[in-house]
Amino acid sequence: MNLNDPAGRHVFSLIFTLIALAVVVLFSVQNAGPVAVSFLFWHFEASLAVVIALSLMIGMIAGITVLSWIRLRRSVRKKKARGSEPARTDQPS
């Protein structure tokens, strides 16, 4: 499998995704027991797999938000830097 080839990358991604999905399903089945969760004023009971999945989703959303904010700041800085440069009038001789 050649990972430089787009088709090879898609096959690798598909295989990796299927393996990850199988691991998640296996984990969920083996950890279906209820756990008590307390956070600030919230107290509830849920299966361990659900608690971990919710934690993962919250972490992913937080990570995507922070990365988007960093990219936006970087983009604004680049635009400001381009705007402050004098216009180029290079003409071939």
Residues 6+ apart with CB under 8 A from 37: 43, 44, 45, 46, 51
Residue 41's CB is within 10 A of a number of other CB atoms, namely 5
For 69-84, what is each residue's pLDDT tens digit? 999 998 888 888 887 6
How high is the pLDDT of residue 87? 56
Q: Determine contact, residues 35/47, Cβ cutoff 8 Å.
A: yes
For 8-62, what is each residue's pLDDT tens digit? 778 888 898 899 888 878 887 887 888 998 989 889 898 888 888 888 889 989 9
Is residue 1 over pLDDT 60?
Answer: no
Helix, strand or coil for residue 3?
Answer: coil
Taking the complete model, does pTM exceed 0.75, yes or no? no
DSSP summary character for residue 4: T
- Give the DSSP H/E element, type plus range, for residue 1: none
